[in-house]
Chains A and B, each alone.
Chain A
Amino acid sequence: MTHNPYLIHPARILERKQESTDVVTFRLQLTHSVQQNAFRFEAGQFNMLYVFGIGEVAISIVSDPDEPAFLDHTIRIVGRVTQILGHMQIGETVGVRGPFGIGWPMEGAKGKDVLIVTGGLGCAPVVGAIEYIFRRREEYGAMTILHGVKTPHDLLYRERYDGWRHQPNTKVLLTSDEPGKTWHNHVGVVTELFDDLQLVPDNTLVMMCGPEIMMRVACNVLTHQGLRPDAMYVSLERHMECGIGLCGHCQLGPFFLCKDGPVMRLDRVIPFMGKVGV
Chain B
Amino acid sequence: MNSDSFQAPSPRLFLRKNFLQLFHALKQLGYQILGPVLSQGAIQWKTITAPEDLPIGWNDRQEPGSYRLEQDSHSRFFNIIHGPESLKPLTFTSRETLLVLDRQDHTFSAKEIQPEIKPTAVLGVRACDLAGLAIQDRIFLNDTYPDPYYEQRREHLLLVAVNCTKAHPACFCASMATGPKAQYGFDLCLTEADEDFLIEAGSRKGLQVLEQLTCSLASEERIIQDKERIAACAASQTRRLPTANLPDALYEAHDHPRWDQVAARCLSCSNCTMVCPTCFCHGVEETPSLDFQQSEHTRVWDSCFAPDHGYIHGKNFRPTTKDRYRMWLTHKLASWIDQFGTSGCVGCGRCITWCPVGIDITEEAQALSQPSD
Whether B269 sits at the interface, judged by CB under 8 Å, is no
Q: Are B110 and A9 in contact (CB under 8 A)?
A: yes
In the complex with contacts A237-B312, A254-B339, A246-B318 CB distance below 8 A:
no
Whether A226 sits at the interface, judged by CB under 8 Å, is no
Interface residue tally of chain A, by bracket? 35 or more
CA distance A249 to B103 in the complex (A): 29
Q: Please give the residue numbers on chain A whose beta carbons come within 8 Å of chain B beta carbons, in ascending order.
A: 1-10, 12, 31, 52-56, 76, 78-79, 82, 91-93, 95, 237-239, 241-242, 244-249, 251, 253-254, 256, 259, 271, 275-278
Q: B356-369: contact bitstring with A at CB < 8 Å (1 yes, 0 no)?
A: 00000000000000
CA distance A271 to B140 in the complex (A): 28
Q: How close is A163's CB to chain B, nearest CB, in angstroms?
A: 28
Stretch at the interface among B34-42, B179-187, B205-213, B275-283: B275-283
Which A residues touch B299, using CB under 8 A?
6
Which B residues touch A254, using CB under 8 A?
334-335, 338-339
Q: Are A238 and B317 in contact (CB under 8 A)?
A: yes
Stretch at the interface among B53-61, B143-151, B165-173, B215-223: B143-151
Whether B161 sits at the interface, judged by CB under 8 Å, is no
**Which of A7, A78, A82, A249 is in CB contact (< 8 Å) with B281?**
A249
In the complex with contacts A254-B335, A277-B320, A241-B283 CB distance below 8 A:
yes
Interface residue tally of chain B, by bracket? 35 or more
Which A residues touch B282, using CB under 8 A?
242, 246-248
Q: How close is A230's CB to chain B, nearest CB, in angstroms?
A: 18
Q: B105-123: contact bitstring with A at CB < 8 Å (1 yes, 0 no)?
A: 0111110101000000000
Q: Please give the residue numbers on chain B whose beta carbons come within 8 Å of chain A beta carbons, in ascending order.
A: 98-99, 101, 103, 106-110, 112, 114, 139-140, 142, 144-148, 251, 254, 280-284, 286, 288, 292, 295, 297, 299, 302, 304, 309-314, 317-320, 322-323, 326-327, 331, 334-335, 338-339
In the complex with contacts A239-B311, A277-B326, A278-B323, A91-B106 CB distance below 8 A:
yes
Which A residues touch B326, using CB under 8 A?
277-278
**Which of B99, B109, B302 is in CB contact (< 8 Å) with A10?**
B109
Q: How close is A90's CB to chain B, nearest CB, in angstroms?
A: 11
Tell me whether chain A's interface is mostly helix, strand or loop, or mixed.
Answer: loop
**Which of B106, B288, B292, B310 is in CB contact (< 8 Å) with A249?**
B310
**Which of A79, A248, A259 is in CB contact (< 8 Å) with B302?**
A248
Q: Are A6 and B297 in contact (CB under 8 A)?
A: yes
Which B residues touch A53, using CB under 8 A?
101, 103, 286, 288, 292, 295
CA distance A276 to B322 in the complex (A): 11
**Max chain B Cβ within 10 angstroms of own Cβ: one of A2, A92, A277:** A277
Which B residues touch A10, using CB under 8 A?
107-110
Q: How close is B289's CB to chain A, nearest CB, in angstroms?
A: 8
Q: Are A54 and B286 in contact (CB under 8 A)?
A: yes
Q: Are B331 and A79 in contact (CB under 8 A)?
A: no
**Max chain B Cβ within 10 angstroms of own Cβ: one of A1, A55, A79:** A1
4 tightest A-B CB contacts, nearest first = A254-B338, A248-B281, A277-B323, A53-B288
Which A residues touch B139, using CB under 8 A?
246
CA distance A248 to B320 in the complex (A): 18
Q: Are B101 and A247 in contact (CB under 8 A)?
A: no
